[in-house]
Amino acid sequence: MTVKLANQPLNTINADLTLEFVTPQQLMAHPQKELLVRAGFKAEAEQSCTLHEHRLMVCGINEFSDELFRSAAANAIKTAMNYAYTSLKLAQYGQTHFKALIEGIVLGSYTFDSYKSEPKPSSLVEVIFSNEDTNGSDEDTNDLEKILAQSLIISKATNFVRNLVNQTPYDMTPQGMSVVAQSLAKSNSLECTILDVNGLQDEKMEAMIAVGRASIHPPRLIHLSYKPKNPKKVITLVGKGLTYDSGGLSLKGATSMVTMKMDKAGGCAVMGIIKAVSELELDIEVHAFVGAVENMIGGNAYKPDDVLRAKNGKTIEVRNTDAEGRLVLADVLGYAQEKVKSDFIFDYATLTGACMVALGPYTTGVMGHNEALKQEWITASEQSGEYSGILPFNRHLKKLIKSELADVCNVSSKPYGGAITAALFLDNFIDENMKEKWVHFDIAGSAYTESAWDVHTYGGTGAGVRMTLEWMMHSCK
C-alpha cells in the first residue's frame, strides 16, 4: 500500500472512499448526521461507520490527540482493507497530528501472511492525504512532505522488525539473523561484522557460547555500524536475539514455550533502528550489536550449577538456564563496550516475564542509574506512541543476585522484582564509566501480542523502534 500526499483540496482528489475523524460534538453538525445516528454511530473512540452510497467512512474520536488519531487511523485502515475499494483519501487534522495518522495507517495496515497457503491481499492499494485541513486552510506542503518521508521510514522500519520477529524459529535462526544483517548492510551502506563460534571463543564470550551450545544452529554475534561524517553523538545499541528460548534444561512449560520465537525481538529492534537511522541520514554514529542464539536442550546443554566466565572476567553461577538472555547480554555488552567508545549504551531485551507482571502487557520497562536520562526516555516514548514505565533500582534488590560460589548468580533468590534484578544482573557487565550512560529496556510485554491493540496486529509489534528514533531525533543534539 502506498501512502502519499496530494497538494490539492480533498474534494478534488480522485479516490474510492473518504475517511473522516469526527468528535461527538462534530457529529451533531455533520451533513450526514441523520444517517450516521440512525446507523448507531455516536462518534465514540474506536467506533466507525461507513455510508457506502456516500463513499464515506467516519471514525469516532473523543478529542484531537496523537494517541487517539494513531489508533483511530489504524482501526479505520483495518476496516477499509476489508472492503473492495482501491483508494482512500483524507484531510489534514493540523500538522501536529500528521505523523500519528501516517503511523496509524502504515502500522495498522500491516499483515503477515507468509505462512498462509492462500493469502488474501486487500484491494486497497493507495492512501492519499490532502494538504488541506478539515477547516479548509492549507498546511505547508514542504513541512508535510518532510513529515511524510520521516514517518514512512520509521513505520516501515517498525514493520521490518515485525516481519523478522514473526518468522518461525526454523526460518529465522542465528545464521538467518546474520544473513538479514548482511543484506541490510548492503542495501543501507552499513558496516557489518559477524562472529561465529570460533570468533566468540577468541573473544572469550563463554556465557553466550554456553547458552547456544545445545542447539544445532550455532550462535552469531552481529555488529552493524552506521558512521556519518561528523556525528554529534556515538550510540551503542545491544539487542537480545534468542531465535528460540525453550528454557534449556530449566525447560519451559508447554504453554509458556509458545511464542518464544519472539525472544529475538530486541535483536530485531536494534536492526530496525539502525535501518531507520541510516535512511533518515541522522548525524549520529550508531552501532547495533545482536547476540543471536538458540536456547535448547541436549546432552551438551549448559546446566543449572555451571559457572561461566563472561567476557569482562566476571563469573556467573547458573541456577536457571531459562534466565539465558542476561547471559548472552552480559557478553555482548562486554564486547560492545570494548569495541566502541560511545556516549550512550542502550539494550533491548524480552528479558523477563516479571516485567509484564509489573507493567502489564503493553509497556516497556525502563531501567538504569541515570534518573534524568530515564525520564528523557519516558517522554520520548510517550511522544512516539509507545508505552513505557520506570522500574526503580535499589541497593537491597542488588543483594538478591549475590552468589556464594561465583561473582554473581543468574537468578534472584526471591520471586519478586524479577525485571529489576535482571537489570541489576546486567549492571555487572556495564563498565564503570558507562554506568550513567546506560539504559536497559525490557520489552518482554511490549514486543509481541496475540491480540490486536492500538496500531498492532497479531505478532511482533516492533517495540523500541519508534521511541528510540524519537529520543535520537529530539534528545541527541
How many whole angstroms separate alpha carbon 229 and alpha carbon 236? 17
Member of 111, 350, 388, 428 binding ligand BES (CB under 6 A): 350
- Min dist. Cβ of residue 296 to Zn ion (A): 11
Binding at 411: pick from ligand BES, Zn ion, none (beta carbon under 5-8 Å per type): ligand BES
Is 361 among the residues that bind ligand BES (CB under 6 A)? no
- 252 among known catalytic residues: yes
3-class DSSP assignment, residue 455: coil
Q: Where are the alpha helices (DSSP H) in 122-264?
A: 141-166, 174-188, 197-202, 206-212, 254-257
Please report where in the chains the cell 531507520 appears, as a residue: 276
Q: Which three cell numbers stand for residue 289?
A: 550489536
How many whole angstroms separate alpha carbon 366 and alpha carbon 390? 5
Is 325 among the residues that bind Zn ion (CB under 5 A)? yes
Is 263 among the residues that bind ligand BES (CB under 6 A)? yes
Binding at 353: pick from ligand BES, Zn ion, none (beta carbon under 5-8 Å per type): ligand BES
- 437 among known catalytic residues: no
Binding at 224: pick from ligand BES, Zn ion, none (beta carbon under 5-8 Å per type): none
Is 418 among the residues that bind ligand BES (CB under 6 A)? yes
Of 151 and 250, CB closest to ligand BES: 250
Member of 444, 467, 469, 472 binding ligand BES (CB under 6 A): 444
Of 206 and 324, CB closest to ligand BES: 324
- Min dist. Cβ of residue 162 to ligand BES (A): 16
DSSP 228: -
Member of 411, 424, 426, 439 binding ligand BES (CB under 6 A): 411
CA distances from 23 to 63, 77, 100, 315, 402 (A): 6, 18, 17, 59, 56
Is 354 among the residues that bind ligand BES (CB under 6 A)? yes
Please report where in the chains the cell 557478553 appears, as a residue: 331
Member of 206, 245, 285, 386 binding ligand BES (CB under 6 A): 245
Instruction: Select the span of 179-187, 202-210, 334-342, 349-357 touching ligand BES (CB under 6 A).
Output: 349-357
- Min dist. Cβ of residue 344 to ligand BES (A): 24
Is 352 among the residues that bind ligand BES (CB under 6 A)? yes
Crossing angle of helices 371-384 and 465-475, rounded to 10°: 120
Q: Which three cell numbers stand for residue 444?
A: 518482554
Residue facing ligand BES at closest CB distance:
353
Binding at 60: pick from ligand BES, Zn ion, none (beta carbon under 5-8 Å per type): none
Task: Count residues binding Zn ion (CB under 5 A).
Answer: 6
DSSP 29: T
Give Cβ neighbours of residue 34 (< 8 Å, ≥ 6 apart). Answer: none
Of 49 and 426, CB closest to ligand BES: 426
Instruction: Select the span of 39-47, 106-114, 195-203, 347-355 touching ligand BES (CB under 6 A).
Output: 347-355
Catalytic one among 70, 326, 374, 437?
A: 326
**Which of positions 298-327 make contact with ligand BES (CB under 6 A)?**
320, 322-325
3-class DSSP assignment, residue 177: helix
Of 127 and 268, CB closest to ligand BES: 268
Binding at 468: pick from ligand BES, Zn ion, none (beta carbon under 5-8 Å per type): none
Is 245 among the residues that bind Zn ion (CB under 5 A)? yes
* Beta-bridge partners for 133: 92
Member of 66, 132, 263, 285 binding Zn ion (CB under 5 A): 263
Is 285 among the residues that bind ligand BES (CB under 6 A)? no
Smallest CA-to-CA distance from 87 within 115, 122, 38 is with 122
Member of 132, 279, 322, 454 binding Zn ion (CB under 5 A): 322
Of 102 and 359, CB closest to ligand BES: 359
CA 144 to chain CA centroid, Å, is 25
How many whole angstroms separate alpha carbon 293 and alpha carbon 174? 6
Query: DSSP secondary structure string, 338-399?
Result: HH---SEEEEEE---HHHHHHH-TTEEEEEES-HHHHHHHHHHHHHHT-EEEE----HHHHH
Is 306 among the residues that bind Zn ion (CB under 5 A)? no
CA distances from 78 to 97, 394, 453 (A): 19, 44, 12
Catalytic one among 204, 252, 309, 339?
A: 252
3-class DSSP assignment, residue 240: strand
Secondary structure element (H or E) that encloses residue 105, with its range: helix 98-108
Smallest CA-to-CA distance from 363 within 467, 209, 261 is with 467
Is 418 among the residues that bind Zn ion (CB under 5 A)? no
Is 20 among the residues that bind ligand BES (CB under 6 A)? no
Please report where in the chains the cell 570468533 appears, as a residue: 199
Give Cβ neighbours of residue 174 (< 8 Å, ≥ 6 apart). Answer: 212, 217, 218, 219, 220, 241, 243, 292, 293, 294
Residue 324's φ and ψ, nearest 5 degrees, are -90, -30
How many whole angstroms separate alpha carbon 79 and alpha carbon 72? 11
Residues that bind ligand BES (CB under 6 A): 245, 263, 320, 322-325, 350-354, 411, 418, 444
Instruction: Give catalytic residues, as residue numbers.
Output: 252, 326
Give the interface with Zn ion as residue ranges (CB under 5 A).
242, 245, 263, 322, 324-325
